[in-house]
Every structure is written in C-alpha cells, then in structure tokens.
Structure 1
C-alpha cells in the first residue's frame, strides 16, 4: 500500500493544527514548525499510574535503524498495553484532542531516563531511503503527528530540545507536547529534529504516541 498523496497529508496536518489551536489554554509555540504545549493534560494520579506501568515492563530502548553510537539512545522503554484501562482512556483522550481516528495511532510507548541517559537528535518521521521503510509503509505509512506527555519533573536536565526550531521544553508533570512531523506541503519537516537532553539529576518519565497517515498495523 502506498503513502497518501502529500496534499492529503497536508490537509490532515492543517486539520489537526486548527483543532489544537482552538483548545482552551493551549499554547501554539512561536516556531517554524507546528508545535503545541498544553499544561496539566494528565493529573498527578494518572502520571503516577503510568510510571508504575513503565517501571514494571521497561527494557533497553531500541532504534528502527542501528546507530554506531552506543550513546545515541540510552533510555529504557516499553509499549503500554491498550487493555490497561488507564492507557485506553488516555489514548481516547488523545484522539479526541487531535481529532485523529484511534486506528491511526501506534501503541503508546513509555520511556524512563535515569541520570546521564539521553536520546540524541533524531526525527520521528520515517526516512524513506532506509531499509525499515518498506515494512513501515505497509503497516500505516508515514508518521504525521507526535504527542508526548511528561509524567514527572527530574531535578535537573532532561529537556526536549528542537535545535533547528529554536524550542526547548522543560519537563513538567502532566504537560503535553504535540507537533506535526510534516511540513505545510505534507512532506517530512527536517526542522522537527529533536533530542532528549541528558538527565542530570533525578528520573524522567514520558509517554509518546505517534500517529500514522493510514490505519496502523
């Protein structure tokens, strides 16, 4: 199955952008990419429940394409089960927030960063010249939007940095960060390059939900 035409991806991106921009209290960040911050999307109790699920199943994080740098992604992560009532409820809220059909969403991934751990600069969209692409194309195609929720606040460090967009976000418990991985023409947006800076003290927990251009899986 082929990718959606770029114009269709562009229309999807614009629809989600406009929907998010209308959410009370949301902040459309001043940047060359579409990126939004919504405070207190999750309660402290919900965040604590998700942290417990991550701690129960966490494993060393992996990459779609192997990297020669062993320090490229040093966190631990796990896929959170949709059968968990808390996970299911949050997925539904994310779909309601973005207006994206739940069928287009990948499984929510939980991530844990201990002091010194990081995720070096990367894109969430798929590079179509990579060996992983033919399989990803078959199971949903290109990634469109990313929704990341911070579950706690480490003592120091652990910011999410977009170096080419001039944005750096400090983790705050329950805050949601959402951005479009594609540009206004529906093509991969190189300026969405981002990184999880090293945690300096304390722990950092986040969950991430990626949406595809077609139903996932």
Structure 2
C-alpha cells in the first residue's frame, strides 16, 4: 500500500474539543506527570491518570477506538489497539524536530518499536504555527479544531511540528499497536 497521511476534518466537533481543552486547563496541576522528555514534563495529561468516573475519560476512550477504526479502514489492517494517549499543551516557541515514533534516526527500532500507527487530534486552532510536517512525504498539515491526522509510526513517516509563534496549541496524540500486550487500559 502506498504511503499516505490520513486527514479527517471534523472528526471531533468543536464543543467536545473545547471541553477537553477546558478539562486540561482545570486539571493539569493535579494530573500532570514527569516525562522522559523534559520538554513535555508537566505539560501533558496521560489517559491512565484520568479517573474512570470523569466524563472526559469516556470521551477520550470513545475517540481512541473510533481512531483505531479509521486506521484499520484506511490502511487495510486487522488489528489496531490504543497504546498510549495524552492531551498535550504546546506554548509559544515550542515545536518538535522531525522524528519517527517507532524508530531511531538510522531506522533501527527505538524504545517504542511495538507502535505501528500514530495519530494527532487537534483540539484547537486559535494559534499561529504548529503545523505538522512529514519530511519524506512532502506533506504539511495545518491544524484545524477537531481534525484527525493518522499515519504510520515508522521511519518512512518521519514527522515534526513547526514552532508555535503565538497562542497555545492543544493536541491529543495517540499511538497504536497490533500487539494486545501493549494495549492501554
């Protein structure tokens, strides 16, 4: 199958996107965690840290499985399970250098080699910059509230994020696997 980046505008309506941004702002101090990458420490809320009784947990869970369905259909694969999900805040000046989600720069497997697909759900678009770009595919995606972006996790899908020049960017990145033992519960 040819390499392609899947874009689904309006995957999540504006109201639930705004609710997730509001949830993040109200709960970041209580639910944030340290990250292996210091740049993301205390700027993300992981799905596993959200109490089960909160409606946002259910909303995120529904999104995860709907996105798995999109990936299955778009890429013609049978088994796709959510591996890791969080909500991330990107302040002005932040971006991300090009990288692959399951491979090192030389193409060798990284610490997350079991990941087969990646996605980003844009929760807002009232900021400047923050486009997602794919170095080998010549694709650049402008964020839109509620838009889903899905793509392979391998080195052929090396991607990055242009720096945010003004405003605050909120996203819900998710990674997927074909291995049941890595399913995020």
TM-score range, shorter chain: 0.7 to 0.9
Q: Distance in 2 between matches of 1:101 and 1:49?
A: 30
Kindly provide the CA deviation profile for residues 49-82 of structure 1, in whole angstroms up to 9, marking residues without a partner as x.
Answer: 211233222647734xx6xxx77x6892221238
In our comparison, the structure showing a higher alpha carbon Rg is 1
Greater alpha carbon shift after TM alignment, 155-164 vs 86-95? 86-95
TM-score by length of 2: 0.75
Q: Distance in 1 between matches of 2:164 and 2:82?
A: 28
- Structure 2 equivalent of residue 54 of structure 1: 24
What CA RMSD, in Å, does the superposition of the two structures yield over aligned residues?
A: 2.9
Count, aligned residues: 166
Q: Any gaps of 5 or more consecutive residues in structure 1? A: 1-13, 15-31, 182-187
Q: 1:193 to 1:75 in 2, by over 3 A?
A: farther
TM-score by length of 1: 0.65
More strand by share: 2
Tell me if structure 2 keeps the 8 A contact 1:154–1:171: no
Q: Any gaps of 5 or more consecutive residues in structure 2? A: 73-77
Mapped pair 1:210 → 2:171: no
Kindly provide the CA deviation profile for residues 90-142 of structure 1, in whole angstroms up to 9, marking residues without a partner as x.
Answer: 1232233334657x212311111111111222111144967x74xx5xxxx52
Q: 1:148 to 1:61 in 2, by over 3 A?
A: farther
Q: 1:117 to 1:61 in 2, by over 3 A?
A: farther
Tell me if structure 2 keeps the 8 A contact 1:75–1:111: no
Q: Distance in 1 between matches of 2:33 and 2:172?
A: 15
